[in-house]
């Protein structure tokens, strides 16, 4: 079965002023759609069509570059839309909050370290909060559309929070001010969804 563009769980303008409506519309409808279309084209008529996007990522070293770029693009953006919300709480609670404090010192320390990973990713890529195989939290960043599920990733595990730092994610509103976009990201995080991914 071919992969499909997931519906955005809120309106294009729902994340204003943190992420503008025009950016959301193009990012979801054009960029993410292109990853889905190109992934489907890259795997058409092969056994890969029967695989989940997670399993494709876990075995990505066996696939050609178009599957890595577009499969990663599809997985990453599907995660990204779901960890954003117009009804954000300021900070996580419960087991996730405890794990963040244990691993990074405090929630503020975590934010500083995550923002540094997002800011210093050269060119296009993503910053991640990862639950590794030992169940511990790690911060990482990946180039292009790679992600921590991939067998080629430096830090491997399950991504539970991700921030797209490609210019297409922020340039219309923030131009070259990536740090301002990263600051705004904290206002629109769906911590319930991140906690759900953490507890899995």
Applying the rule CB under 5 A, the residues between 48 and 77 that interact with Mn ion are none
* Of residues 5 and 91, the one with the C-beta less far from Mn ion: 5
| Shortest separation between residue 164's beta carbon and Mn ion, angstroms | 4
- Structure token digits, residue 149: 């599920």
- Among the candidate windows 6-14, 54-62, 102-110, 169-177, which touches Mn ion by CB under 5 A? 169-177
| Shortest separation between residue 135's beta carbon and Mn ion, angstroms | 29
Sheet holding 137-143, edge to edge: 137-143, 125-131, 158-164
State the number of binding residues for Mn ion (CB under 5 A): 3
Q: Does the protein bind Mn ion through residue 166 (CB under 5 A)?
A: yes
Nearest by Cα to 54 from 35, 75, 30: 75
Q: Which of 146, 160, 164, 173 binds Mn ion (CB under 5 A)?
A: 164
| Shortest separation between residue 63's beta carbon and Mn ion, angstroms | 20
| Shortest separation between residue 93's beta carbon and Mn ion, angstroms | 29
Q: Evaluate the omega torsion of the peptide bond into residue 17 and state whether it is cis, within 30 degrees of 0.
A: yes
CB-based contact 114:22 (threshold 8 Å)? no
Residue located via tokens 């990946």: 142
The 118-157 contact track toward Mn ion, x by CB under 5 A, reads ----------------------------------------
Give the β-pairing of 125-131 and 137-143: antiparallel
| Shortest separation between residue 76's beta carbon and Mn ion, angstroms | 7
Residue located via tokens 């890969």: 48
| Shortest separation between residue 34's beta carbon and Mn ion, angstroms | 10
d(CA 170, CA 100): 27
Query: Shortest Cβ contact with Mn ion: which residue?
Result: 164
* Of residues 27 and 131, the one with the C-beta less far from Mn ion: 27
**Buried-state track 134-151, b at ≥16 Cβ within 10 A, e below 16:** eeebbbbbbebbbbbbbe
Interacting residue ranges for Mn ion, rule: CB under 5 A: 164, 166, 169
């Amino acid at each position: 079965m071919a992969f499909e563009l997931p519906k955005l769980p809120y309106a294009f303008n729902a994340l204003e002023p943190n992420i503008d409506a025009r950016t959301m519309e193009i990012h979801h409808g054009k960029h993410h759609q292109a990853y889905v279309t190109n992934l489907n084209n890259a795997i058409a008529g092969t056994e890969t069509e029967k695989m989940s996007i997670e399993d494709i990522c876990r075995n990505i070293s066996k696939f050609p570059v178009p599957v890595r770029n577009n499969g990663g693009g599809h997985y990453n953006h599907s995660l990204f839309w779901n960890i954003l919300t117009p009804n954000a709480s300021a900070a996580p609670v419960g087991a996730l909050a405890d794990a963040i404090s244990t691993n990074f010192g405090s929630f503020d320390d975590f934010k500083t370290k995550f923002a540094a990973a997002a800011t210093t990713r050269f060119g296009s890529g993503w910053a991640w909060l990862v639950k590794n195989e030992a169940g511990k939290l790690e911060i990482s960043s990946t180039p292009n559309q790679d992600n921590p599920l991939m067998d080629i990733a430096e830090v491997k595990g399950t991504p539970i929070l991700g921030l797209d730092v490609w210019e297409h994610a922020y340039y219309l509103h923030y131009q070259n001010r990536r740090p301002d976009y990263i600051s705004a990201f904290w206002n629109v995080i769906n911590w319930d969804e991140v906690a759900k991914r953490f507890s899995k």
